[in-house]
């Protein structure tokens, strides 16, 4: 099994590389097929119901909400003000949206004759498959192939999993986060730092991954300093130290660039503040929880808010299980940092379940239980989860009037 995922040696022939790639694909095939089946069912059901209701599936999948903002960056570039510019349809700035995904969409649009919107969607779909593969690799490395398969399929069956199949950044960010965490688990620190830097160019929550990778790499560097050695002191230290420096570089680079573009040091944070996203010390989350669970009698709480609240609560409960099970430090730090961002940030409450999509390490306790269950029980549970996810995807996009 280890040979299937090993990195080819420098002297490997093309045939050796091809054989290793084929073996790796065979190893991950059940995970990719299961994940693909879950997502294909969700997309097909959405397309059918949307068509019956006179809605365009394309508008839902790659032509609404954040999808339009990213395509605005692709077509017009970034704004130069805290507020919107004449080519935008809102008073807010598109500088709130990080640059890697629109850059990939622009490249895809240049080579694919499908238009900007569909090219953006194809980038997201390809990213989701890459994310599923990398999630499988982490589960396989830690607990075996079956756990890896279940973990990848579970990620495609979450309540908000339809977003993984939309022209959003969650899939790309998850793929980069999984790549960084897998590299950290393998102690490939420079690679982990590079992937974390790319993730930091993808979403604001890249700061959570940067913190996890940087702290883990820094601890590894300190540990290496304490070890007895015969060579130069820096030899076992430079890789984890460089990884720790690289990890936050992408996120910091975009924040600095926005400040330079707006000619103010706090430019990025001013843009986020204009969107209603700011630091809250946890009070915003508590007020929302109180409203959902203890609101005035007779008040109607939208289903979407209830589901978001349940997902966030489940995230904290699963994190406690991850602590009890002593997950590897990079995974714990990443999950904890994601939850901290959700706890101490104000604004966009409805999107918090979507923001948790990259937190796949939180699913490991569930994946381990299902992997040990009877195959029929596992298959039935995953099938029901896929059905529920597809059904909620319909509500999220065709009934609920807000963003997913």
Share of the chain residues as helix, strand and coil, in percent rounded to the nearest 5: 70, 0, 25
Q: What is the pLDDT of residue 279?
A: 83
Cα distance between residue 75 and residue 98, in whole Å: 15
Mean pLDDT for 161-189 is: 98
Cα distance between residue 235 and residue 397, in whole Å: 53
Buried-state track 60-81, b at ≥16 Cβ within 10 A, e below 16: bbbbbbbbbbbbbbbeeebbee
What is the maximal distance between C-alpha atoms in the chain? 73
Cα distance between residue 129 and residue 137, in whole Å: 12
Pairing of strands 345-346, 278-279: antiparallel
Which of 189, 231, 234 is closest to 214 using CA atoms?
A: 189
- Is the pLDDT reported for residue 7 higher than 60? no
Cα distance between residue 303 and residue 31, in whole Å: 31
Any residues with CB less than 8 A from the CB of 384 and at least 6 apart, and which? Answer: none
Report CA-CA distances (Å) from 304 to 3, 103, 159, 166, 310. Answer: 45, 31, 10, 18, 10
Integer Rg of the chain from CA: 21
Which tens digit of pLDDT belongs to each residue from 11-54? 557 788 888 888 989 999 999 999 999 999 999 999 999 999 99
Which tens digit of pLDDT belongs to each residue from 178-210? 999 999 999 999 999 999 999 999 999 999 999
Mean pLDDT for 103-117 is: 97
Q: What is the pLDDT of residue 187?
A: 96
Buried-state track 329-360, b at ≥16 Cβ within 10 A, e below 16: ebbbbbbbbbbebbbebbeebbbbbbbbbbbb
**Sequence ranges of the domains in the chain:** 27-399
Q: What is the pLDDT of residue 225?
A: 84
- Is the pLDDT reported for residue 3 higher than 50? no
- Is the pLDDT reported for residue 364 higher than 70? yes
pLDDT band at 2 (very low <50, low <70, confident <90, very high): very low
Three-state SS for 2? Answer: coil
Name the percent of the chain lying above pLDDT 90.
77
Q: What is the pLDDT of residue 301?
A: 85
Q: What is the pLDDT of residue 397?
A: 95
Three-state SS for 346? Answer: strand
Angle CA 121–125–127, to nearest 5: 115
DSSP conformational letter for 8: P
- Is the pLDDT reported for residue 6 higher than 70? no
Sign of CA dihedral 328, 333, 338, 339: positive
Which tens digit of pLDDT belongs to each residue from 201-256? 999 999 999 999 999 999 999 998 888 777 777 778 999 999 999 999 999 999 99
Asked if residues 349 and 308 have their Cβ atoms less than 8 Å apart, the reply is yes
Which of 106, 163, 210, 94 is closest to 307 using CA atoms?
A: 163
Mean pLDDT for 373-400 is: 97
Any residues with CB less than 8 A from the CB of 265 and at least 6 apart, and which? Answer: 259
Cα distance between residue 197 and residue 387, in whole Å: 36
Question: Which range is least confidently modeled, 140-144, 222-226, 270-274, 399-403?
Answer: 222-226
């Amino acid at each position: 099994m280890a040979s299937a995922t090993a990195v080819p040696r420098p002297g490997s022939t093309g045939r050796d590389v091809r054989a290793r790639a084929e073996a790796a694909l065979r190893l991950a095939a059940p995970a990719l097929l299961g994940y693909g089946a879950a997502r294909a069912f969700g997309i097909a059901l959405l397309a059918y119901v949307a068509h019956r209701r006179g809605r365009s599936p394309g508008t839902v999948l790659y032509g609404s909400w954040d999808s339009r903002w990213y395509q605005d960056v692709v077509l017009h570039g970034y704004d130069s003000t805290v507020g919107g510019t004449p080519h935008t349809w809102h008073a807010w700035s598109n500088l709130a949206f990080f640059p890697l995904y629109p850059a990939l969409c622009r490249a895809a649009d240049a080579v694919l004759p499908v238009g900007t919107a569909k090219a953006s969607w194809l980038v997201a779909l390809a990213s989701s498959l890459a994310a599923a593969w990398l999630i499988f690799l982490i589960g396989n490395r830690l607990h075996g192939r079956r756990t890896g398969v279940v973990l990848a399929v579970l990620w495609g069956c979450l309540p908000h999993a339809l977003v993984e199949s939309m022209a959003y950044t969650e899939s790309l960010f998850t793929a980069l986060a999984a790549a960084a965490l897998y590299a950290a688990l393998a102690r490939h620190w420079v690679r982990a730092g590079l992937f974390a830097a790319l993730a930091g160019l993808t979403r604001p929550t890249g700061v959570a991954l940067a913190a996890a990778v940087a702290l883990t790499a820094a601890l590894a560097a300190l540990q290496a300093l304490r070890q007895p050695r015969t060579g130069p002191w820096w030899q076992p230290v430079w890789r984890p130290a460089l990884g720790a420096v690289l990890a936050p570089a992408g996120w910091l680079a975009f924040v600095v660039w926005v400040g330079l573009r707006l000619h103010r040091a706090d430019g990025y944070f001013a843009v986020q503040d204009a969107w209603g996203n700011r630091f809250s010390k946890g009070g915003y989350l508590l007020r929302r929880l109180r409203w959902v669970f203890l609101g005035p009698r007779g008040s109607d709480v939208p289903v979407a808010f209830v589901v978001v609240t349940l997902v966030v609560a489940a995230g904290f409960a699963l994190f406690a299980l991850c602590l009890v099970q002593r997950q590897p430090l990079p995974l714990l730090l990443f999950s904890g940092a994601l939850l901290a961002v959700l706890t101490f940030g104000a604004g966009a409450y409805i999107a918090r379940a979507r923001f948790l999509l990259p937190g796949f390490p939180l699913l490991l306790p569930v994946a381990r239980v299902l992997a040990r269950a009877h195959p029929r029980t596992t298959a039935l549970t995953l099938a029901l989860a896929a059905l529920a996810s597809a059904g909620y995807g319909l509500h999220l996009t065709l009934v609920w009037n807000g963003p997913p």
